Amino acid sequence: MAQHAFKDNVVVITGGSSGIGREIAYQLSPLGARLVLAARDPELLDAVVSECRRRGGQAIGVRTDVSVEAECAALIERAIEEFGRIDTLINNAGISMRARFDELDGTEPIERLMRINYFGSVYCTWHALPHLKSSRGRIVAISSLAGKTGVPTLTGYSASKHAMAGFFDSLRQEIARDGVSVTLVYPGFVATDIGSRAIGPRGTTVGVRNVVRSRAMPVEECAKSIIEASARRRRELVMTARGKVGQWLKLMVPGTVDRITSRALERGW
């Protein structure tokens, strides 16, 4: 189904230079998608754009800091300028954290997480929405299982992902009659480098991974599932069996879920 859904489909992907966003771009390229990739590092962007073209896709890169609304507006304008429309917006850009709240030197790291993870999605969606209504397109929001269940040392990250869930769940209902679908995605641990770029207690990058790759979902599998869910315009995608079971357990034995999430974080799984 994805092959037909994304043929000539104009797809804007934030956080497109690495991790899940990059892999989604790679997998969409041979399906005939027209890609607009956004990220802060132009060199990484150029490399991904080149690989997407090598795989048969049309692609451009737009240097974008999603925490700045003007840059999100410019991203959407550039997409329209290049391809004339937008069919799919994938809000993927994000950063993580690795610090207890009482270890932080101040609240700025929390604000930074909210600006990038939450407001970045809001800004891009607001500027893209008129075009998505015209195309009866898709919005995809990459949240996290931490957007359903709080996780220790991820207070700001979890808050930003909970905010995304609330925003896009509400928006889905508002724009349903416009023919625009909203798919919320909740990955668990995925084998990417997001953990190595996590914000630490002093607001700087930790640089130490806490995810054991052998226990994490391969990024290729994650991207494939997201593309299929988007093609089918699914309402929600909880990506692990553990995550699905955890939602039921949270209703019945929330203390047990707290212990499970704490242990999982310690083990990197």
Encode pLDDT of 160-206 as tens digits.
999 999 999 999 999 999 999 999 999 987 877 666 667 777 666 66
The three-class DSSP label of residue 5 is: helix
Q: Does residue 169 form part of some domain? A: yes
Both structure tokens of 140: 């995809």
* Confidence (pTM): 0.87
Q: Does residue 72 form part of some domain? A: yes
Q: Does residue 255 form part of some domain? A: no
With a pLDDT cut of 90, the percent of the chain lying above it is 70
Residue 240 pLDDT exceeds 80:
no
* Domains: count for the chain: 1
Q: What is the pLDDT of residues 37-85, one digit of tens each?
A: 999 999 999 999 999 999 999 999 999 999 999 999 999 999 999 999 9
Count how many Cα atoms sit within 13 Å of the Cα of residue 172 in the half-sphere of its side chain.
17
Question: Which residue among the candidates 26, 123, 157, 186 is catalytic per the annotation?
Answer: 157
- CA 68 to chain centroid, in Å, comes to 17
Instruction: Note the pLDDT of residue 150.
Output: 84
Active site residue 186: no
**Confidence band (pLDDT; 50, 70, 90) for 251?**
very low
Q: Does residue 63 form part of some domain? A: yes
Residue 246 pLDDT exceeds 80:
no
d(CA 193, CA 207): 9
| Cβ atoms 209, 194 nearer than 8 A | no
Both structure tokens of 220: 């290729």
CATH of the domain at 189: 3.40.50.720
Instruction: Note the pLDDT of residue 188.
Output: 81
Q: Does residue 265 form part of some domain? A: no
Q: Does residue 258 form part of some domain? A: no
| Cβ atoms 86, 76 nearer than 8 A | yes
DSSP letter string over 171-226?
Answer: HHHHHGGGT-EEEEEE--SBSSSGGGG-B-TTSSB-------GGGSBPHHHHHHHH
Q: Does residue 167 form part of some domain? A: yes
User: Rounded mean pLDDT of 12-24?
Assistant: 97
Both structure tokens of 170: 């509400």
User: Which residue segment(s) compose the domain that 88 sits in?
Assistant: 2-240
Q: Does residue 223 form part of some domain? A: yes
d(CA 166, CA 69): 20
Count how many Cα atoms sit within 13 Å of the Cα of residue 244 in the half-sphere of its side chain.
6
Residue 230 pLDDT exceeds 90:
yes
